[in-house]
Structure 1
Amino acid sequence: MSWARIMTPLSGGQGDKAAVEAAAMLAEPFGAELACVYTPADVADVMPWMGEGFLGGVQTTALESLKEAAQVGEANARTAMASCAYARSRFVALQTPVWAGLSGESRLSDVVVFNNDPARGRGPLAEAFQQMVADEQRPVLIAREGLKVGGTIAVAWDGGKEASRAARLALPLLEKARRVVILAAPKASSRTFDASRLQSYYATRGVETELDILPDTGDAAPVLLYAARKAEADILVAGAFGHPRLQEFIFGGTTRTLLNSEQPSLFLSH
């Protein structure tokens, strides 16, 4: 298996350079295309607030300011991409409707790369992160300091739908890893599962793994993070749990804990 297109949304802000570098690091071992997708604030989202009660001149000035900000942001995003110098980079500047364009780009990408801020609900790409995880159900990589492809990867496993999806979609990444450790906490799950089944699944695909059965606990997330650190994992693969509510994706407690941790980088799928 392989990945052919890695995508990273850009906002024109300070975090773009790190996001591009991380996405290029992920794309390089596969020779994949790197799509740097500039995702500006959408004028269409602002227009409803500028309906009744806004004078024509005020509305025009506000729209012009948004357009100018988008132009500056696009220039910054292009600079961030250029600073990386990955040969197979491609720049995409989204236009209104921005969210529809972002969805379309993600559907033709194998993985979407973010840095820490959007994953923690901060900055202009926070909504884009939730859109990718919840609405589009795309696999995302949250790149953190020390990200490395080809090192050690830990896979959180509970036999559930979300964990299974993440474990399957991460297979190209696991094939590049030096070491893969399956982390299972059966006592922290309401379901019954056999962790060795995932080990067999990987073995038939040429990926040798170690199995770490974690101790009894009422909260899986801290134990998973401790086990990932103990394994010196560069990336933790996990299912993203949450519920759509009032058009807002509400992450479950385990996922929130993983998102708020400092290390390691996360490969998530809902």
Structure 2
Amino acid sequence: MSIAAILAVADGSENTTDVLKAAFRMGQQHDAYVEVLHIEADPYSSIPLLGEGMSGAMVDQMMNDIRARNSEYRDAARGYFDAQCKAIGVEPKSADELAGARGFNVGWRNLEGSEDDVLAHRSLLFDMVLIGRPPEDRESAYTPALEAVLFNAGRPILLVPPGTSETFGRNIVVAWDGGGQSAKAARNAMAFLKQAEKVTVISLVRKDDDKTDPQDLVFYLQRHGITAEARRTEILSSAGESLLAETSEVQGDMLVMGAYSHSRLREFLLGGATQTVLNSAALPVFMAH
């Protein structure tokens, strides 16, 4: 998959800097357009969630609080955007000013509404979406926005954790379980794999699995001019923990994997490889479904 249009989500948190650095670097590498999107919560959408018996004054106060928080996050996100534009010497513009432009350029867009709905619609015509990994103090990195991109828009995502190295993507690990999600992730990540200095295909298998062979994907990558190594390892703990341990073992700096090979409900409630990686990965993770 070629990369010509990248959507980067700027939520105003400190992780926004890592997301923008990664997005701008990718834009320069692939001569692509980078749109930085900030989404503000719609104050009116919170009204149905308010408790019964609340007075009009209380409702007004809550909406004013939401607007104040929106302004704070918007200003912070825009500040990170302007600072990153200045750092690489590119002129910050609105996304509409860059309509039809080609080559590397960056634009800013601010929209209001439900985060998952806005992101699912906006990401439809982008090749991939960069999202910051939520803070560690959150119980789960699962978000409706992430699901909206993967399932509703059918777009791959790159989850960017805090402290991401600016040189990530040199040593890429591809998780291979022989399924459709893994295959789609590998195909969508082709632009990264072709630029990598090292690619390792890892298959994590159960004791009685004699079918899953990482060499199958290695052969496919070779047809695209990509040299890769194969590793087949038995799962000793959970699949997600084993995958991250194997990735660390080969010193991978980026992980490519299929997302939610099992049902979303099963992964979310019972845990699974996707959920473990979302919650724990300290390196950028490219996911597709």
Worse-superposed segment, 77-86 or 61-70: 61-70
Tell me what 2:107 maps to: 90
Q: TM-score, normalised by structure 2?
A: 0.80
**Counterpart of 1:60?**
60
Structure 1 vs Structure 2 CA RMSD: 3.0
1:154 & 1:130 partners in 2: Cα distance? 23
| Residue 197 of structure 1, aligned match among 216, 227, 251 | 216
Q: Deviations over 1:193-221 (max 9, x none)?
A: 33222112111111111112224646433
Relative distance call for 1:197 and 1:16 in structure 2 (3 A) is same
Query: What CA distance in whole angstroms lies between the structure 2 residues aligned with 1:159 and 1:106?
Result: 28
Structure 2 residue aligned with 1:153: 172
Superposition pairs of residues 33-72 of structure 1, within 5 angstroms: 33-50=33-50, 53-72=53-72
Residue 279 of structure 2 corresponds to 260
> What whole-Å deviation, never above 9, does each CA across 1:133-176 have from its counterpart, x for those lacking one?
34434211122333534511010101112111111111111111
Aligned counterparts of 1:152 and 1:178: Cα–Cα separation in 2: 6
Distance in 2 between residues matched to 1:34 and 1:76, nearest whole Å: 19
Task: Return the alpha-carbon distance in structure 2 between the equivalents of residues 18 and 207 of structure 1.
Answer: 28
Contact 2:235 / 2:242 at 8 angstroms: preserved in 1? no
TM-score normalised according to structure 1 size: 0.85
> Identity of counterpart residues, as a percentage?
25
User: In the aligned structure 2, how far is the partner of 1:123 from the partner of 1:219?
Assistant: 17
Q: Which residue is equivalent to 1:243?
A: 263
Q: Which amino acid aligns with 1:107?
A: L
Structure 1 residues 61-96: Cα deviation after superposition (integer angstroms, max 9, x where no partner): 322332232223211111111111153221111123
Aligned counterpart, 2:156 = 139
Secondary structure of the equivalent of 1:29? helix
Q: Paired residues, what number? A: 269
Amino acid at match of 1:112: V
Partner SS, residue 214 of structure 1: strand
| Aligned twin of 1:29 | 29
SS of structure 2 residue aligned to 1:94: strand
Unaligned runs of 5+ in 2: 91-104
Q: Structure 1, unaligned stretches of length 5 or more?
A: none
Gap change, CA 1:131 and 1:207, over 3 Å in 2: same
Contact kept, 8 Å, 2:203 with 2:212, in 1: the verdict is: no
Q: Could you say which residue in structure 2 is the equivalent of 1:213?
A: 232
User: For 1:89, what is the secondary structure of its paired residue?
Assistant: strand
CA distance in 2, matches of 1:120, 1:97: 23
Q: 1:181 to 1:123 in 2, by over 3 A?
A: closer
